[in-house]
């Protein structure tokens, strides 16, 4: 079926089932990226696996070679794997990519936003293996970790009629977020040559995976704030003004 549209003296024939052009979220993605960059911490650090000690007897061999701390009436010594990680996104304009994939209305007061994130984080990892105060193997490395995240955010919007004119209330809440470590490359070659180096690299990667999962709550908080501000500052179909037009009025 076709519809004929008359315009002045011209006639245009348009297919009734012609598909509209898909929405362009490029500008909103750009704004979200700019706001996220402003909110990024200069550096993050995880030292949760650094500094553990155990009680030891005073008659252990090689006491002069051991690192020992007196705590009250007992002796304690470093023991186990000490691990410390520092990270930051170098050149976020290059190493942080934010792409809005979808935006749709779920009901009269809730929208769903889907965002893909791809980032490369510079990580400095320090690892020390202790055995009752004896330092068996110290190592450190700098690596580039590529991570991705698929973020699904439900945005509740409402009007505050106590203000004149009524104010738009935006409440984003992350419904789904999974940080994934895609690739891990040590800068400058192997940490230590041979099998030990391979073991250390695997250990560092395992530490990083643990830290990545542990930082998900922090990332959710940053994402919620960035999305809220992006809507307030945005343009097009995801701007506060466009949402305001779609809200039911009392």
DSSP state of 208: H
Considering only CA atoms, which of 115, 120, 111 is closest in space to residue 100?
115
Chain centroid to CA 38: 14
User: Strand pairing of 96-107 and 80-88?
Assistant: unpaired
Helix pair angle (216-233, 26-39), 10° resolution: 130
Residue 246 CB neighbours (<10 A): 12
Q: State pTM to two decimals.
A: 0.74
* CB environment 148-181: b (16+ within 10 A), e (fewer): ebebebebebbbeeeeeeeebebebebeebebeb
Per-residue pLDDT of the chain (250 residues; tens, 9 = 90+): 333 333 333 343 444 444 666 788 888 898 889 888 888 888 888 888 899 999 999 999 999 999 999 999 999 999 999 988 898 999 999 999 999 999 898 988 899 999 999 999 999 888 899 999 999 988 888 889 999 999 999 999 888 788 877 778 889 999 998 889 898 888 876 666 677 777 777 877 887 887 788 788 888 888 888 888 888 888 777 878 877 776 666 5
Considering only CA atoms, which of 170, 155, 152, 172 is closest in space to residue 106?
155
User: Strand pairing of 69-71 and 74-78?
Assistant: antiparallel
Cα–Cα distance for residue pair 185/143, rounded to 1 Å: 5
Task: Dig out the tokens for 70 from the structure.
Answer: 């007196």
Domains of the chain, with CATH numbers? 21-50+81-246 (3.15.10)
- Are 24 and 237 a contacting pair, CB within 8 Å? no
**DSSP per residue, 86-122:** EEE-SSHHHHEEEEEEEEEEEETTEEEEEEEEEEEEE
Query: pLDDT tens across 75-113, in order?
Result: 999 999 998 889 899 999 999 999 999 989 898 889 999
Cα–Cα distance for residue pair 126/138, rounded to 1 Å: 8
- Are 173 and 159 a contacting pair, CB within 8 Å? no
Element (H, E) at 38: helix 26-39
């Amino acid at each position: 079926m076709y519809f004929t549209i008359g315009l002045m003296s011209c006639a245009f024939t348009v297919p009734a089932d012609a598909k509209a052009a898909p929405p362009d979220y490029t500008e909103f993605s750009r704004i979200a990226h700019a706001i996220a960059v402003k909110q990024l911490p200069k550096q993050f650090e995880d030292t949760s696996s650094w500094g553990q000690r155990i009680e030891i007897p005073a008659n252990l061999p090689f006491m002069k070679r051991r690192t020992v701390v007196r705590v009250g009436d007992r002796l304690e010594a470093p023991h186990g794997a000490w691990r410390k990680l520092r990270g930051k996104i170098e050149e976020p304009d290059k190493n942080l990519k934010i792409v809005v994939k979808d935006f749709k209305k779920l009901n009269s007061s809730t929208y769903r936003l889907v965002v893909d994130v791809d980032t490369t984080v510079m990580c400095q990892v320090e690892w020390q293996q202790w055995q009752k105060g004896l330092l068996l193997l110290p190592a450190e490395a700098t690596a580039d970790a590529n991570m991705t995240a698929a973020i699904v955010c439900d945005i509740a919007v409402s009007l505050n009629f106590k203000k004149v004119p009524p104010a738009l209330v935006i409440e984003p809440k992350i419904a789904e977020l999974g940080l994934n470590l895609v690739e891990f490359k040590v800068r400058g070659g192997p940490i230590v040559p041979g099998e030990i180096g391979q073991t250390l690299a695997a250990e560092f990667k395992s530490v990083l995976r643990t830290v990545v999962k542990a930082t998900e709550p922090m990332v959710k908080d940053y994402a919620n704030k960035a999305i809220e501000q992006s809507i307030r500052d945005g343009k097009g179909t995801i701007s506060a003004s466009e949402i305001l037009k779609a809200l039911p009025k009392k």
